[in-house]
Each structure stands twice: as C-alpha cells, then as structure tokens.
C-alpha cells in the first residue's frame, strides 16, 4: 500500500464503533424515501456542536460545493478576490463561472499582503473575498488583527467575506466570533480533514441567517444523502475522537518539521495545518524519489512563490518515520 500524503486527509479512518453505529442507522432507514430536504436534522446537530443559530448553517456534500455556490451568489461578472498561491477550487470555480478573478501575491514569508488586498477591495467591483486560515497550500496563519482589518474593510465595501477554516483544528484558531459580528461574513468548515470523513463528503458554513438563507436557495434539494446524514449524526453525537487525533497530528507535525530541520538541501517550511511544504532543489527528482519509496505527495512547484515545493500531509507516526527516512536519503 502506498503511503498517501497527497490530499491532506486524516490518516485514520472513522472509529470502528462509530462506523458500526452509523451502519446500523443506515440500515434502519428507508432507502426508498427521499432524505431530509435540506438535511435539517444534521444542520441542527452542526448548529449545536458549533454553538450557532441553526438558521445560519448550510450543509452540503463537501465544502467545495459551497465554494461553487458562493461564486454563483457573487454573480457572474462579479469579482472573486484571493491571494496567490491559493486553494485551487476558488480559482477553478471563478474561471468556470466567468467571474472576474483577482489574485494578489502573498508576501514572500506567506503572510497576507494587507495593503494590496485593501487596495483591491476598494478598486474592484465587489464580490467574494477568500481568506484561508490556516492558509492552503502554505499552512501559514496570519495575525488575527490583519484578518479582522481585512474582513471589516471588505464588508464595508460590499464584499462577502469567506473565512475558510478547513484546517482550523490544527492551528487552534477559530473565527466564529469575527463572523458573528457582521452580516456578510461566513466560516467555511469541513468534515474532510480533522474528522477523518473525506469519503462521506459533508461540509458546512456558519453565517448570518440572511446570508445563509440566500445561499440555501442555491443548494439543490436532497443534496446530502441519507447515508451521509446518518454517518454525520453519529459523528456529532460522539465527537470526542477528533481531539486526540488532532493532538497527535500537531505533535507529529512538529516532530517531522524538527527531524527535517537540519537537512542539507531540503527545507521543511513551518505550518499550522496537517500538512507542510518541503522546498527541494529539484521537485521532479524529489517527487520521483519519494514515489520510489512508496510515498505519494503533491507537487506545488509550478505555483507562484513555491518553486521546488512539494506539499506533504502528516500521516501516522510510522508513515512519518518512512517520510523522514526517505527525505534523509534525498541529498
């Protein structure tokens, strides 16, 4: 089996007992009947878990669907503003839907270019601003004051502000309070990473009831199937397993980064997510070397500012040991 470190997934499956309970519930439900129209039971469980007004929650099959809907809400011809490099789905959907895509270069240390983003917010026709915390694909976390300043400036200029928090458990950051303070802000969250449920495909957003209602109109009926709804209801009733896994993920991330710190040719860049960038002298050679050791990572070396970079997810301790050994031999 290859060691799969290319999609930032959780290296551990959904716990066995919870999977068994989810399967029991799936079996007990009538598969010939349509599920909850808007997954209301699941939405209410998410709202309880996040301490959020259920009217401000929208649930979809993966948060990638929400990114598509946000681009649609922004309206064809409006602007999608993000940094460069950024999460590929933002730019893909903007291009696909014909929105005007504006990207501002990150600073060389991967921090947010606050002044340039502010200028773009004033200059461009409003649309959707994406702020990813921790950032993907760098794993960088910005100063809360910068995120707040950009959020407030964007909202005042008529933009919708998306705080994509797909990896927030690994940085112990949480922008719910900032999102609560304004009507045009939302937090995008997913069960695909820390929860270990990427295959079930469920993501959600937390927003004001008004913004959530506008987005809910764009969600097709019955979009979360009854099997996924059953699995997620079980996860949200017994979410305790996530904390221990996140703690291990953070410990392992710091262990891997420390183990690679003195490498003569490769540089493991600091990260607050469940992945990190490995800057190599030759990304193609490094990628093929890791593959020859059965380790699959993601090339990012064609992206702006990321020359030579591979993106590597944190795996199990054994997988990480194999990675450290393989990178050690890369010199």
Ligand X SMILES: *Cc1c(COP(=O)(O)O)cnc(C)c1O
Interacting residues toward ligand X by CB under 6 A: 8, 62-64, 87, 132, 136, 164, 166, 190, 192-193, 198, 203
Of 59 and 326, which has the nearer Cβ to ligand X?
59
Q: What is the DSSP string of 122-166?
A: HHSPPEEEEEESS-TTT-----HHHHHHHHHHHHHTT-EEEEE-T
Contacts of 153 (CB under 8 A, 6+ apart): 118, 121
Q: Give yes or no for a cis peptide into 85 (omega within 30° of 0).
A: yes
Of 8 and 208, which has the nearer Cβ to ligand X?
8
Of 47 and 131, which has the nearer Cβ to ligand X?
131
Give me the least distance between CB of 262 and ligand X, in Å please. 29
Q: Which residues pair with 129 in a beta bridge?
A: 81, 161
**Per-residue CA distances from 175 to 104, 190, 204 (Å):** 22, 14, 15
Q: Phi and psi (nearest 5°) for 127?
A: -165, -120
Of 56 and 137, which has the nearer Cβ to ligand X?
137
In terms of Cα–Cα distance, which of 212, 206, 128, 214 is closest to 165? Answer: 206
Give me the least distance between CB of 197 and ligand X, in Å please. 9
Give me the least distance between CB of 331 and ligand X, in Å please. 30
Give me the least distance between CB of 122 and ligand X, in Å please. 26
Spatial separation of the C-alpha atoms in residues 276 and 266, rounded to whole Å: 13
Collapsing DSSP states into helix, strand and coil, what is residue 220?
Answer: coil
**Per-residue CA distances from 321 to 15, 257, 328 (Å):** 23, 12, 10
Give me the least distance between CB of 300 and ligand X, in Å please. 13
Of 106 and 326, which has the nearer Cβ to ligand X?
106
Q: Which residue is nearest to ligand X (CB)?
A: 62
Of 46 and 326, which has the nearer Cβ to ligand X?
46
- DSSP conformational letter for 302: T
Give me the least distance between CB of 137 and ligand X, in Å please. 8
């Amino acid at each position: 089996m290859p060691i799969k470190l290319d999609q930032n997934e959780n290296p551990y499956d959904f716990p066995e007992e919870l999977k068994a309970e989810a399967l029991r519930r799936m079996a007990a439900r009538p598969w010939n009947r349509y599920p909850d129209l808007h997954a209301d039971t699941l939405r209410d469980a998410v709202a309880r878990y996040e301490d959020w007004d259920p009217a401000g929650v929208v649930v979809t099959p993966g948060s990638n669907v929400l990114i598509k809907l946000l681009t649609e809400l922004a309206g064809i011809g409006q602007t999608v503003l993000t940094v460069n490099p950024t999460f590929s789905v933002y730019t893909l959907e903007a291009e696909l839907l014909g929105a005007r895509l504006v990207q501002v270069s990150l600073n060389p240390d991967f921090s947010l270019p606050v002044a340039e983003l502010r200028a773009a917010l004033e200059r461009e026709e409003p649309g959707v601003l994406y702020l990813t915390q921790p950032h993907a694909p760098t794993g960088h976390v910005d100063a809360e004051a910068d995120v707040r300043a950009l959020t407030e400036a964007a909202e005042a200029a008529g933009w919708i502000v998306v705080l994509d928090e797909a990896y927030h458990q690994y940085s112990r950051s949480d922008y719910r309070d900032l999102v609560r303070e304004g009507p045009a802000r939302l937090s995008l969250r997913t069960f695909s990473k820390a929860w270990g449920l990427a295959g079930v495909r469920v993501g959600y957003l937390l927003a004001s009831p008004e913004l959530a209602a506008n987005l809910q109109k764009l969600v097709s009926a019955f979009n979360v199937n009854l099997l996924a709804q059953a699995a997620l209801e079980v996860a949200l009733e017994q979410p305790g397993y996530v904390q221990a896994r996140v703690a291990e993920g953070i410990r392992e991330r710091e262990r891997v980064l420390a183990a690679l710190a003195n490498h003569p040719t490769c540089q493991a860049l600091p990260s607050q997510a469940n992945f990190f960038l490995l800057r190599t002298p030759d990304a193609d050679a490094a990628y093929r070397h890791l593959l020859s050791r059965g380790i699959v990572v993601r090339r990012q070396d064609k992206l702006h500012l990321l020359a030579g970079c591979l993106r590597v997810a944190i795996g199990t301790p054994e997988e990480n040991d194999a990675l450290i050994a393989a990178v050690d031999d890369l010199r």
